[in-house]
Amino acid sequence: MTQTLTLRRPDDFHLHLRDGAMLRTVLPETARDFARAIIMPNLVPPVVTGADARAYQGRIMEALPKDAPFEPLMTLYLTEETDPEDLVAAHASGLITAVKLYPAGATTNSQSGVRDVEKVQPVLDAMAEAGVPLCVHGEVTTHDVDIFDREQVFIETVLDPLRRRTPGLKVIMEHITTSHALDYLREGGPLLGATVTTHHLMIDRNHMLVGGVRPHYYCLPIVKRATHRTALAEAATSGQERLFLGTDSAPHLDGAKLSACGCAGVFSASNTMACLAQLFEEADALDKLEAFTSSIGATFYGLPLNPDTITLERSDAPVPVPAGLDVPGEGSLTVFDPARPIHWRVL
């Protein structure tokens, strides 16, 4: 028996496309199912100025399959040297949608990030005034804080003070991984949103560590204990307000993942919508999927809802995890394994 589900075309509010051959390989995977995506700026070197964003947008459009109805929503990478005038002008012209705050050292290519948030206060004030949203990688990086506690400590010691200092600033807590972040979101009011990834809704640290270490599940923020995953999944599948999909699909070549010091990132662009349909079906909440993937985020960002749709099909037989992709001249790329049978595919 098959069943179909038609949804408003979704948006991915947190996506890594990289550049060059990797960009050309992964972009069609997202463009097939999604109408828009917030494009992360952590290239080497990062996308710091309006001119950088304009050039990167051009490379993305060049890599896009012909006639694919996909719009990259560009971001700037906040540094202690960011020029608020350049940033505000890039937003006013429609070139960028948001600005990304990486605490220095928090994750992949974050070495140019912010060491002292007080140094960027004038930029944050200008953003609040001009209505530019701030996307935040919410983890402290101090070595005395355990990696599993870094999100909670960040919220208490950095994010909450920052928001109090900057009334009017729209903030998105990116890829939240804990019930602490959910609690903070719930009490946060209309200017606070959060994204959650497909993988943080489906796997926890046991998947990563029991019976052998699975490098393909290593990402940042690191996956937490099961109770956090369950809280996140319950929130997402019950239509939690201001909580929406940002896949954080973050491709790294298998050689870089399967190494003595493996890179952080899960590549889920190819099968995210199938995985989410499975998750929402298991929660008896297929009727909430469209809000999570296609309207809560757009509404939070103040974007129009997408006019067209995608259709998913459910089959009794499980659909295998998609085969890895070949990045020409560079190596292979493994697609996220959600650790359970998936019965859905996007038609």
Residues 211-240 that bind ligand DOR (CB under 6 A): 219-220
Specify whether the CB–CB gap between 194 and 181 falls below 8 A: yes
Please state, in angstroms and rounded to a whole number, the distance separating the CA atoms of residues 255 and 97: 33
CB of 102 to Zn ion, least distance (A): 9
9 binds, among ligand DOR, Zn ion, none (CB under 5 to 8 A by kind): none
**248 is known as an active-site residue:** yes
Please state, in angstroms and rounded to a whole number, the distance separating the CA atoms of residues 128 and 170: 7
Residues 242-261 that bind ligand DOR (CB under 6 A): 248, 250
Please state, in angstroms and rounded to a whole number, the distance separating the CA atoms of residues 197 and 276: 10
Catalytic hit among 33, 248, 284, 316 = 248
Specify whether the CB–CB gap between 219 and 14 falls below 8 A: no
Report if residue 12 touches Zn ion, rule: CB under 5 A: no
24 binds, among ligand DOR, Zn ion, none (CB under 5 to 8 A by kind): none
Report if residue 248 touches Zn ion, rule: CB under 5 A: yes
Q: Which stretch binds Zn ion (CB under 5 A): 62-70, 81-89, 190-198, 244-252?
A: 244-252
Report if residue 294 touches ligand DOR, rule: CB under 6 A: no
Q: Which stretch binds Zn ion (CB under 5 A): 83-91, 241-249, 254-262, 294-302?
A: 241-249
Selection from 159, 175, 304 nearest residue 236 by Cα: 175
Report if residue 137 touches ligand DOR, rule: CB under 6 A: yes
Show the tokens assigned to 283.
């929660």
Torsion, CA 47, CA 48, CA 50, CA 53, rounded to 10: 10
Helix 50-63 with 84-92: angle, nearest 10 deg: 40
Q: Between residues 57 and 177, which has the closer beta carbon with respect to ligand DOR? A: 177
Show the tokens assigned to 57.
């947008």
Q: Residue from 9, 16, 207, 242 that binds ligand DOR (CB under 6 A)?
A: 16
Number of residues that this document lists for the chain = 347
Phi, psi of 114 (to 5 degrees): -90, 125
CB of 107 to ligand DOR, least distance (A): 4
CB of 248 to ligand DOR, least distance (A): 6
The residues of the shown chain that bind ligand DOR, judged by CB under 6 A, are 16, 42, 107-108, 137, 219-220, 248, 250, 264-265
- Residues identified as active-site: 248
